[in-house]
Structure 1
Amino acid sequence: MEKNNTQKGIVQFAMEAGAYMGLYFVVKFIFAVLSLNYPFCNVVSTIMLLFVPLVVFFMMRRFSNQNEGGSYFSQLWMMGILLFFFASLISGLAQYIYYVYINPEYIKSQLSAAVTLLESLNMTSDPSLLEAVKTGLEQGNIPSPMAVVIQQMWVNVFFGSLLSAVMAWLVSVWFKSSKTKK
């Protein structure tokens, strides 16, 4: 069997790497959900969140290595945005399954916990806003699982884009400095 030495394009590389990143996000989500009953899982979830920039850096470096260091900042940034997009599709599917089939009360319980926390901290400058949220919860006006998933996907892609810009710059600088040393 012949070895295929063709370079992968930005989209193909981002899809393949996004599948792994999506699984990483799913595992992080599982630990975040388990942290409701097992506090140690929150530590693991937080550590996984802190390692996301490192994972993105190594994926971008791998993409740049594949192109023999010939990747521009804009290519790396686009690859990072697509990476987070494809990862969000996979993690969004897992979140939707959890919200709809495994724990349908999760969203409502999290919103109730947030309202309780805001009440105990007494940090709201406008008490009518807190009352409106409480009334909405009592009347069952909570976002649908699909709305929560889509919002989370947008957040992942937006912050992933910002993180990717920084990581793309670092990878670009890394390869420029390694070329000048040779």
Structure 2
Amino acid sequence: MPTSFTATADRVLTVTATHSPAASTSFSVDGLPDYAAEIRERIRAAIINGGQTWPTGQIAVHVGPNCTAPSPSFDLAAACAVLAASGIIDPAALTNVALIGALGSDSWTRTVPDIRKAVRAAYSSGYRTVLVPAEQAMSAHRECPDLDVIGVRHLREAVDHFQQRSAQA
């Protein structure tokens, strides 16, 4: 099961995705029941508008543990987990990387509140590489200078990063 990680102001959350190509077409988001429809539509639009083909079959995303409030900082992690589950990104490339960033339906990254706290939470949890919106990369690096901070402007840049990371492995 492809797993990506995201950080909020106070902790790191796990974002997992599964893809069952033979199942009826559906897309569910678990772990945020009150906001699942909003997140689902934003992630689906970002993937399609980012130049990727939406996978056929059943896609399930889970955010946890104990996530009680939505955060746009989940978007980048959720989109990359879906792309890993469908074979676009090698799931191993997501290992030890925290993805923090909102995505617009146009696939461009959006800044997130409390980026410095989120980066600090990722670093404190042992992550040494984070992908963040390009506009917040300098702030993230200033917060944790020992962290490898990769700024991305678009979902396509995140996909390219993980595909290059896989090719180097």
Q: Which interval holds the TM-score relative to the shorter structure? A: under 0.3
Structure-1-length-normalised TM-score? 0.25
Q: Structure 1 or 2: larger strand share?
A: 2
Larger Rg: 1
Judging by fraction of residues, say which structure has more helix: 1
Relative contact order higher in (CA < 8 Å, ≥ 6 apart): 1
The two structures have a TM-score, normalised by structure 2, of 0.26
